[in-house]
Amino acid sequence: MRKRVQATVDGTRPRYRRISVRMWGDAKFRDLSKPQPSGQWLWIWLLTGPRTIALPGVIVGSLEGLAGELGWTAEQFRERFGELLQGGMAKADFDAGLMYLPNWMKHDRPANDNVTKGRLRLCDELPECDLKHEITRDVAWWLNRSGNRLPNRIRNGMPNQSRPQDQDQDQDQDQELSLVRVGVGTFDRFWSAYPRKVGKAAARKAWSRAHPDLEAVLAALVWQVRSEEWNRESGRFIPHPATWINQGRWDDDPTVQVSPSTHPSLREPSEYCDCGYLIAECEIHKENA
- Measure the CA–CA gap between 88 and 93, rounded to whole angstroms: 15
d(C-alpha 13, C-alpha 251), whole Å? 53
How far apart are alpha carbons 209 and 246 in whole angstroms? 9
SS3 label, residue 100: strand
DSSP 125: T
* Whether 141 contacts 154, CB under 8 Å: no
Average pLDDT over residues 13-40: 84
Give residue 86's identity as a one-letter amino acid code.
Answer: Q
Residues 138-190: pLDDT tens digits?
888 776 655 555 555 555 544 444 444 444 443 333 333 222 333 336 788 88
Plot region of 185 (φ>0 → left; ψ -120 to 50 → alpha; else → beta):
left
CB 56 within 8 A of CB 108: yes
Answer whether 109's CB lies under 8 Å from 142's CB.
yes
| Predicted pLDDT of residue 252 | 87
Which of 149, 118, 147, 142 lies closest to 54, judged by CA?
118
The pLDDT assigned to 4 comes to 52
Give the model's pLDDT for residue 13. Answer: 57
Annotated domain spans of the chain? 1-183, 186-288
